[in-house]
Amino acid sequence: MTAIKIVIIGAGSTEFTPGLLADLVASPDLRDAEVALVDIDPWAVETMTRLAQRLADERGVGLKVSGTTDRREVLPGADFVTTTIAVGGVHGWETDVRIPEKYGVYQTVGDSVGPGGVFRALRHVPEIVAIARDMEDLCPDAWLFNYTNPMSTIVRGVQKATSIRCVGLCHGVLHTREVIARDLGFRTEDVNVVFAGVNHLCWLLDVRHNGDDVYPRFREFLSSGLANPPDDTVDDPYDAFQHVSAWLTSLYGLFPSPGDRHVAEFFPWFLRMDGGKLQYGTQSGLDMTNRIFATKDTTRERLRAQADGLEPLDPELLEEAREGERLIHIIDAIVHDRILPELAVNVRNDGLIVNLPPWAIVEVPGQISGFGVRGVGVGELPEGIAGILRQRINQQELTVDAALSGDRQRTVQALLADPLMANVSVEAAEAMLDEVMEAHRSRRHRRPDPGS
C-alpha cells in the first residue's frame, strides 16, 4: 500500500491542528503517512510544521511533513483533506460577536447560529467551496472532512456546489457523553449514547450504562439541579450544571448537546441581559469566549516555543490513550476497511431523520468502513423538536444561498430569519450587516490571521 497523504488546510488552528498531529503520530498504522500543512500565514505554516516534526521525533516515527501557503501545490495525490480554517481569525470572530451586541443581540459563541453564524458563513462557505473545487480538479476522489464552523452551512454549501464527498466532524457529542457519565458517577467507556439533530443542537435519544437504560436517572438528576440557581463563577462552563439544557429537557423530554454555551444560541429567550449579565447561567459561556479572544496570542506564543524546543511539549499531546479529534481514527478505518462506529457525523439526511428535509445536513451516529462514512438512521424525532430543527435548517439554507451568491437581499433575509434577531428591525439588521462588512473589509488590508 502506498503512503497515505493527508492535507490539513488551516494548519494555524491552535484548537485543532496540534491534536490532529498528536493523534496522527500516535496511530500505529498512519504514523508514516505524508502530511501537508497549509495556511495563508507563513508563520503558522513554519510553526506547525516544526511542531509536527518535533512530535514525530518524540514518538520516533517517520511522519513526512511539509508546509506551504499554496494548497494547489499539495492537493495532487491527496487521499484526505481536512479544513480547520478561520477567515479573519480570532479578530473576525470577535467582530461577529461585538457588533451584534451594539444592536442588543447577545451570543455566547457566535460561530454557528445567530447573526455571528450568518457572518461567519459569508466568509467560510465560499472559501471552503473554493477548496472543494480545487479538489475536484486535483484530487477528485479524496474525502473532505470539515471542522470549521458554521458546520451545517459549510457542509451543505460544499455538497450543494461541488461533487466532493464532504463530512463534518465535531467533538461536542463526545464531550457531552463524558459530562453525562460524570454526572451519573459512571466511567465514560461504560456509557453508550445515541444523539441526533443538527450540529450544536443534537438531542440525546438514548443513554445506557452497561446495557441498562439510565435516562430516567439522568432526567431525575437534571430535575433536581434546576432547583439550584445557576453558578456563573465556574471558569469552564462545561463544568457547571447545564441549566439551559436541563430546562429544555423538562420542556421537550430529551437532553440537548453540546452544552449551554452552544445550545442557548438556538433559543433567544435564554440569552437575555439583566444587570450586565446574561441570565440562565449563560454568562459563563460568554466569559469563556471573551477569554479566548484575550488569550489567543498567548496560545500562539506557547505553541511556537514548543515547536522551537524552548518548552516541553504539552503532556496531552503525548498521551498514549488520547482520543482527541476523531479524524485519524476515521481515516484509519477507511484505509484499512475496519468497521468503526462513530457517535456523531454531519452528513446529508436522506431519511436518516425521517421528519427532517432529505437535503438537510444532520448530525447522527455514523458507521465507518472501507466504503467511507455512512450515517445511521434514527427514525423520527418528537415533532416539537423536529419543528425547531426544520426552522433552523430552513434559515441555514437561506444562509448557504446568500454565501454562495453574495446576494445582499438574501443575506438580510437570512439574518431576519434567525430567532436571535426577533427584536431587531429591518433597518437595524441592514445597518448591522453594513458595519460588519466594513469591519471585515478593513481587516483585509492587514496581515492575515492563521486558522483558529
Q: What is the pLDDT of residues 70-118, one digit of tens each?
A: 999 999 999 999 999 999 988 999 999 999 999 999 999 999 999 999 9
Give the mean pLDDT of 228-251: 88
Least confidently predicted of 79-93, 230-244, 367-381, 412-426: 230-244
β-bridge mates for residue 38, sequence order: 9, 68
pLDDT at 244: 96
pLDDT at 447: 44
Burial bucket for residue 206 (CB in 10 Å: 0-12, 13-18, 19+) = middle
Burial bucket for residue 302 (CB in 10 Å: 0-12, 13-18, 19+) = middle
pLDDT at 452: 38
* Residue 146 burial (CB count, 10 A): 27
What's the total number of domains in the chain?
1
β-bridge mates for residue 67, sequence order: 37
pLDDT at 10: 95
- Integer Cα distance of 427 and 412 in angstroms: 10
Give the mean pLDDT of 171-184: 95
Least confidently predicted of 4-18, 87-101, 319-333, 380-394: 319-333
pLDDT tier at 448, thresholds 50, 70, 90: very low
Assess whether pLDDT exceeds 70 at residue 206.
yes
Q: H-type helices in 60-113, by residue range?
A: 89-102
- For residue 92, give the CATH number of its domain: 3.90.1820.10
Element (H, E) at 323: none
Phi, psi of 273 (to 5 degrees): -90, 135
Work out the angle between the directed axes of helices 408-416 and 383-405 (0-180°, nearest 10).
160
Look at residue 364 and give its three-state secondary structure: strand
pLDDT at 324: 58
What's the pTM? 0.94
Q: pLDDT above 90 covers what percent of the chain? A: 75
Give the mean pLDDT of 134-150: 98
Q: H-type helices in 308-419, by residue range?
A: 327-335, 383-405, 408-416
Assess whether pLDDT exceeds 70 at residue 236.
yes
**Domain limits at 148?**
1-452
